[in-house]
């Protein structure tokens, strides 16, 4: 009668360390997915708010430029950094909204284009940029912007 091998491992109860680790990884990924979904929901909500505020600010800046009038903008085009030009980005660096605006997260920049065939018409595009509130990174601002367009007509 030879010595019989005692192998009862298949009948062991409980989980191995590897099984527990794999389960933990799976649960962690699932939790991360759910939390990311929640965070994404918040980001979208915040982005919608910011966009609505930016549109209002863009319209406000357009109204200010229209009130300044064709002559004021034509004068800026004539006194451009490289002499008179057909097109100008003003200000050269995006500018913050000054008081009474309480909009520190937003900046604006306008682009003026004089029509060479119709010099009495200037196309205006106001771009409102804003920082991503979660990161505050300047690079994010470029991806968060709205544009409001309009025309200035000289007499």
Partner 1 sequence: MRVTMDVRATIQDRRHRAVTLLEVLVAIAAAAVIFAIAMGILITTNQTANRAIAHESLLQQAELAMKKVQSAIEATVWPEDVASSPPTQAALVFTTNSLALLSSWHPTRAGRFCRYEFVTIEKVPDKGDVRTIAGYLCDDPGGGPKPTFEKLGGEFDSAIQFRYATQVGPDLQPVWQESLPTGQKPRLIWIELVVRDPERRDRRGQIEEMRLTTAISL
Distance CA 106, CA 146 (A): 11
Q: Is the peptide bond before 79 cis (omega within 30 degrees of 0)?
A: no
* 100 is a site residue for partner 1 (CB under 8 A): yes
- Which residues on adjacent β-strands are paired with residue 129? 107, 145
Helix (H, G, I), strand (E, B) or coil at 55: helix
Residues in region 109-148 near partner 1 by CB under 8 A: 110
Closest to partner 1 by CB, 61 or 127: 61
Cβ-based nearer residue to partner 1, 17 or 99: 99
Residues 18-77 that bind partner 1 (CB under 8 A): 31, 34, 37-38, 41-42, 44-45, 48-49, 52-53, 56-57, 59-61, 63-69, 72-73, 75-76
Stretch that binds partner 1, among 1-9, 17-25, 81-89, 131-139 (CB under 8 A): 1-9
Distance CA 21, CA 84 (A): 69
Min separation Cβ 134 and partner 1, Å:
13
Instruction: With CA atoms as reference, report the closest residue to 106 among 38, 43, 56.
Output: 56
In whole angstroms, the minimum distance from the beta carbon of 153 to partner 1 comes to 14
Three-state DSSP class for residue 80? coil
- Minimum CB separation of residue 116 from partner 1 in Å reads 23
Cβ(149)–Cβ(127) below 8 Å: no
Contact present, 128 and 105 (Cβ < 8 Å): no
- Residue 92 within binding range of partner 1, rule CB under 8 A: no
Q: Binding partner 1 by CB under 8 A: which of 70, 80, 89, 90?
A: 90
């Amino acid at each position: 009668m030879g010595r019989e091998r005692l192998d009862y491992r298949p009948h062991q109860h409980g989980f191995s360390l590897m099984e527990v680790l794999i389960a933990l990884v799976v649960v962690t990924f699932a939790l991360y997915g759910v939390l990311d979904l929640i965070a994404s929901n918040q980001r979208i909500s915040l982005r919608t708010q910011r966009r609505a505020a930016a549109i209002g600010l863009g319209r406000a800046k357009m109204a200010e430029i229209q009130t300044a009038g064709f002559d004021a903008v034509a004068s800026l085009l004539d006194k451009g950094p490289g002499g008179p030009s057909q097109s100008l980005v003003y200000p050269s660096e995006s500018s913050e909204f000054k008081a009474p605006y309480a909009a520190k997260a937003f900046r604006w920049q306008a682009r003026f284009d004089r029509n060479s065939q119709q010099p009495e018409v200037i196309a205006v595009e106001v771009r409102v940029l804003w920082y991503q509130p979660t990161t505050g990174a300047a690079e994010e601002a470029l991806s968060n912007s709205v544009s409001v367009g309009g025309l200035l007509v000289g007499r």
